[in-house]
Amino acid sequence: MTNYFTPKFSVAALGAAAALTLSACGSDSEETADSTTAWDEIQEEGILTVATSGTLYPTSFRAEGTDELTGFEVEVVREAAERLELEVEFTELGFDEMLTSVQTGQVDIAANDIEINEGRQENFQFSTPFKYSYGTAIVRADDLSGIETLEDLEGKKAAGASTSVYMETARSYGAEEVTYDNATNETYLRDVAIGRTDVILNDYYLQTLAIEAFPELEIVIHPTIKYSPSEVGMVMNQDNDELVENVNRVIEEMLEDGTIADISAEFFAGADVTEPIDIEE
């Protein structure tokens, strides 16, 4: 997931996550029963509970001048839920809290530009991917923050979420991480511009639109740094097989009929993020 902010864990949530890990060691028949029960309960209540941030433009945000939650993944979720004949109930959380809430069963899905990777696949199930991108770096416009390649991240101050794949990349190259609570994009971007931090590593599409939203800031996307091709999908509990199957069914329908491409064009300035990307790393 490519979110910018870092929330806080609660002791209770961590304890619940540990309990879930222990309870997941039951028999296959027990897991199947739990999966079926979870999907049956969702259908019976008629509500799909979804965690998202509400602060990550253009994936999940509030439209200017309104209190309406919208964004690329928000609208993908709404369309998927409609095809499943369910209402959607959104809960706005920080990144780490989203994953904990999925793991503990407090929500059914997390949708917030969350990248599919091996580490997360050990603990969660992902939907069929519906967004493809790659990593870039936001730096100061006048000197590119003194960064020519990823190797130059050593000693630089990198802003982002501590548990994101992008911060993992920054740390692997020796950057000093700077994390925030549930801050807006403007806070992150302005701190790079004024030199409080040096770089933000994140998703290409998100970075491009974030910069376009604040043209007064003297920052740019680094012209040559491209890395880590990525796939994004919705995150679900490991045991919710039936939910995953049904979500995948409608996501694949939406990819086939062009619905997600249309939603992408609306939020990514005409770009189709459903197309896989090849880059030279």
The residue-averaged pLDDT of 143-154 equals 98
Instruction: Give 53-91 pLDDT, tens digit per residue.
Output: 998 889 999 987 888 999 999 999 999 999 999 999 999
pLDDT band at 37 (very low <50, low <70, confident <90, very high): low
By CB atoms closer than 10 A (0-12, 13-18, 19+), residue 3 is buried
Tell the residue number behind the tokens 């961590």, with chain if given.
14
> How would you classify residue 97: left for phi > 0, otherwise alpha for psi between -120 and 50, otherwise beta?
alpha
**Which residues contact residue 74 at a Cβ distance below 8 angstroms, ignoring those fewer than 6 apart?**
52, 59, 60, 90, 111
Q: Are 243 and 111 in contact (CB under 8 A)?
A: no
Q: What is the pTM assigned to this prediction? A: 0.74
Instruction: Give 91-107 pLDDT, tens digit per residue.
Output: 999 888 999 999 999 99
Domains and CATH numbers, the chain: 11-130+233-267 (3.40.190.10), 133-229 (3.40.190.10)
pLDDT band at 29 (very low <50, low <70, confident <90, very high): very low
CA atoms within 13 A of residue 30's CA, in its CB half-sphere = 5
Q: Token pair of 200, please?
A: 């933000």
User: What is the predicted pLDDT for the residue at 7?
Assistant: 31
Find, among 202, 232, 205, the residue nearest to 136 by Cα.
202
Residue at 173: amino acid letter: Y
Question: Can you give the three-state secondary structure of the chain, one letter per residue?
Answer: CCCCCCCCCCHHHHHHHHHHHHHCCCCHHHHHHHHHHHHHHHHHHCEEEEEECCCECCCEEECCCCCCEECHHHHHHHHHHHHCCCEEEEEECCHHHHHHHHHCCCCCEECCCCECCHHHHCCEEECCCCEEEEEEEEEECCCHHHCCCHHHHCCCEEECCCCCHHHHHHHHCCCEEECCCCCCHHHHHHHHHHCCCCEEEEEHHHHHHHHHHCCCCCEEECCCCCEEEEEECCEEECCCHHHHHHHHHHHHHHHHCCHHHHHHHHHCCCCCCCCCCCCCC
Q: Which of 11-25, 108-122, 266-280 has the highest mean pLDDT?
A: 108-122
Distance CA 53, CA 281 (A): 30
Angle subtended by helix axes 241-256 and 72-83, to nearest 10:
110
Q: Does the pLDDT at position 3 exceed 70?
A: no
**Which residues contact residue 24 at a Cβ distance below 8 angstroms, ignoring those fewer than 6 apart?**
31, 238, 239
